[in-house]
Each structure stands twice: as C-alpha cells, then as structure tokens.
Amino acid sequence: MQIVKTSELRKKMSLSPQERPNAMNLTIKITMQQRTKKCFILVAAFVALTLSKVSGFSFQGKDRNAYHQAKKTTLVADLVPSNKSVEGEPNILVPTVSSALASSPKVGPSSILTSARSCKIKRIQKYARLPVWPAWNGVFLFLVGKVFGEETASKLEQTITGRVCPNFYEYEETTPFIMMVHHCHTFAAFDPLRFFQKTFFPEGFPAHPHRGFVTLTYILQGGFIHRDSQGIRQEYGQVDSAIARYKNKHSQWLNTGAGILHEEMFDLQQEKPFWQRPVFQRQELYQLWINLPASQKLNAPISTVLGGDNETPVVQTLADNGTVSTRTLILAGSYDGASATTPIVTPMSIFHVVMQPDATWTFTLPPTYETLILYVRKGCVLDSDEASLPAHHTVYFDAQGAKLNEQLVLRTAEECADFLVLAGEPIREPCAAQGSMVMNEASEIQQAYADYQRGLFGAPWKETLDDAAWQQHVKQFPCRY
C-alpha cells in the first residue's frame, strides 16, 4: 500500500483545515506502514498458500474453464469415512436442544448425506488449514495429518484446535458468496508462548478497512468484541458464563457499504483478574464475505448483531421416539416456514444444520437460486454415487433452482453430522476484490484505497486502547459515511 506524504495528503483531503490536526497525518502514516500490515497478515498467508495463481485476491481476468480443469482432483477414491460424532459439543444456541443432541447414542462408521433430484455434486475440494492460535497445535496437527492421515487430524482438531481454514471461492460459480473462513482456536491462560506471540500478533483482528460487501460472523463458541469508526461497540458470542452479557447474540451482519474501519478482537475476558479467567478459552466461528450489488455498495455502513428465536429461529424435527432428529439454525433466509430477520439485500439462505443418526433433512431451493455449497464441520458425507466427503471438505452442487421443486435431500446413517449450507441467487455483475475491498471494477478498488488514505473511513486505533480512549479517537477521526 502506498505511503502518502504529509504534503500530498493535505492536498488530497477534502476536509477543512480545522478537521485535519497534525495527529491525523501521523496516524495515517502509521496505519499504512504498520497497522494494516499487521491486521492482514493472515489474509496474506492465506493468499500465498491457496491462491498462488492469482496476484492478490481478484476475480478478474481468469479463464474459468482452465481454472476448473486445474482444480479437478481424485480425492474421492482416497477418502475414508469418519467416526466423529458431536458428543460433547458445546451449547450452540438453546440449552435444551444441545442437551437433547448430546444425549443421543452416537455409534457407527460414518454419516451419510445423499443428494437427490437435480442437486448433483459438481466438485469436492479440501482447502488448506493453516496453523494459528496456538500455531504450535496447528503445526502438530499438520504432522499428524501427514503421518496418520487427514481424517485423524480432523478429529483431533476438534479437541486441541489451532487451525484456520479459508475457503476462497471461484466467484463466478459461488455468487454472491466470496469466501468462507472456519476458525478453530484455543487460548490457554498458562501458555508462555502465547504471551510472546501476542506482542507481535494480536489476538484478533485490529482496526482495518472494508468497502462494498457484507461480513457475516457466526460464533460457535467463544466471543468477539467489535469496535468501529462509527463509534459502535458490540459484544456477541456463545459462552455459558457470558450468556447474559451477549444477550443471546451469536452473529454479526456487517454491511460495510461505502466504507468503515472495524476491529474484531477475541473476547478473552480480559476485564477479570488473571486468576479468575478460564484456563482454556475455546474460540470457534465462521466468517463469510458476501457481495453486494453495485447499487448498494456505497450506502452508509451498518452493523447488526443477531441471535435468539425471533431473529435466527431454530427448526427441529422429531424422530419416532420423540427425540430431536434434525436441528436447523437459520442465519439468513427462510426454512420450513421460519425466517431470519437478517437484513439480506439479495435472496440467499444460510443454515447451520445438526443431524442425529438415521435422520433425513430436505431443502427445496427457491426458483431463482443457482448457488449451493455445503461445508462439513463434522461427520462424513456421501452422495448418491457413493462419493465421500469427510469433515473439513467443501462440496459444490450443480444447482439449477429454476427447475420446479429442485431439492437437496440429506440423510445420516449411524453417526451425527454437522454442516453449513450456503445457497443463493446470483448477482450478475462483475466482481473485483483485492485486500479488504470488494467492488465491480479495479478502478473502484483503487478509489476505495485512496478514500481510505484520505481519512474518509476514519483513522485506525491501537487495539490496546481502552473504551474511553477509543471513543475519544473516533470523535476526533470519525467515519465520514
């Protein structure tokens, strides 16, 4: 990113002299050189390891046929069903539901999910899982995977954590979804290496800019503390001891619009004395990047936290014996007559589904949907042709929602399954994404970074600032949108 000299910055800025104190120039220069670099270190690693064909993170100028040809693999013949169940899983939303799921018997070799009707698997892909928080656990899991196989490493990850998995999508086939990242981490109170690491690698994501898309962050366990350049502070997550503080809000829908700076730091209960904090604090979450149509990209940014039966309802089905058979948490869209209040801009459906053994789950695609993606968090899936999809694999379906009553029919055998479903109507517009901006053209990306350098998004702050100092900073350097 270009470092703008003080003299050049003054000429470019549209603000009045009274609104441009000398501290602003210093802050912006620090931002370009240090803060943004620190914040995006994960993204840079992701890109380097998973998108070696592409400079940065762009969806322009790719030969789509060549891309898919290069992505073809022979994974299916080598994949082995998993024995992983969801026993011992932390409370996800409603304690009574989680208790019912955890108390069900879980035996058998695998979970089987079968696609039916015209929802056929297009391809299966396993994305790189990178070591972080704690990195040494992730390195150990990498070695376990090489020696004992990825199935063993996937099971062990649910216990010791320490990895992050960015799914960088090929946008033309996954619109409006740009990417999905699965985080699985643990912060130990008495880990000496942790305190060394966080001196140069903050535990979370310090203030950084966005424009032109939506982030949906869904906390499975743990929590985030959000602060942004509009002066908004939010807490959300799912931890038994913090339910009252989170007020049942487990997700955040952040429409970045014309531009905003935000900070998402793991809620590690730092306000408590050291000896009162949990020894191990598990943090597991999904974060999605979702595109916006051009007409919505420069609207005012807005952040909404969601959770509870009224905002993200849960649909359950019962087995013949009266126990819970399937549980569908609706993060966006509608399912079986229930709808989330998520302020979506284009039609889409996002579900977190947990299935007990010998259960069936069906989703009828709306006529306009052409994107259908499944990410398996736990269990092993098979399609109607017996191609397997173990945990931590992503399956892309050849969805054609215009066909009447097109359905995705999934079932389990003798083991539980846990997966994320993404489906939606395509946005038929060009998409250019680089760094933390998503627009329609490359020139708009350049303009977004220019506006950021001019201070229109606000000015970054250090994550170590307390709330009073942060509020004072935001008043001095507010978001102009």
C-alpha Rg value of the chain to the nearest Å = 22
State the CATH architecture for 21-467.
Sandwich (2.60)
Can you spell out the DSSP letters for 50-106?
H-TTSSSS--SS--HHHHHHHH---HHHH--------TTPPP-S-HHHHHHHHHS--
Cα separation, 374 vs 267, whole angstroms: 29
CA 416 to chain CA mean position, Å: 23
pTM, two decimals, is: 0.78
Q: What pLDDT does 412 receive?
A: 82
Q: What is the DSSP secondary-structure string of 125-153?
A: E----EE-SSHHHHHHHHHHHHHH-HHHH
Residues (pLDDT < 50) of the chain are 1-112, 114-116
State the Cα angle at 207 between 201 and 213, rounded to 5°: 120
pLDDT at 277: 75
pLDDT of residue 11: 42
Q: Taking CA 234 as the corner, what is the angle to CA 230 and CA 236, rounded to the nearest 5 degrees?
A: 150
Q: Measured at the alpha carbon of residue 38, what is the angle toward residues 34 and 43, in degrees to the nearest 5?
A: 135
Per-residue pLDDT at 413: 79
Residue 458 is classified by DSSP as -
CA distances from 62 to 45, 122, 340 (A): 21, 19, 35
pLDDT given for residue 242 in this prediction: 57
Place of tokens 């487990």: 250
Beta carbons of 411 and 191 less than 8 angstroms apart: no
Query: What are the distances in angstroms from CA 419 to CA 41, 103, 182, 217, 354?
Result: 28, 19, 12, 16, 7
Could you give the CA distance from residue 393 to residue 84 in angstroms, rounded to a whole number? 14
Q: Where are the domains of the chain?
A: 21-467
* Predicted pLDDT at 241: 60
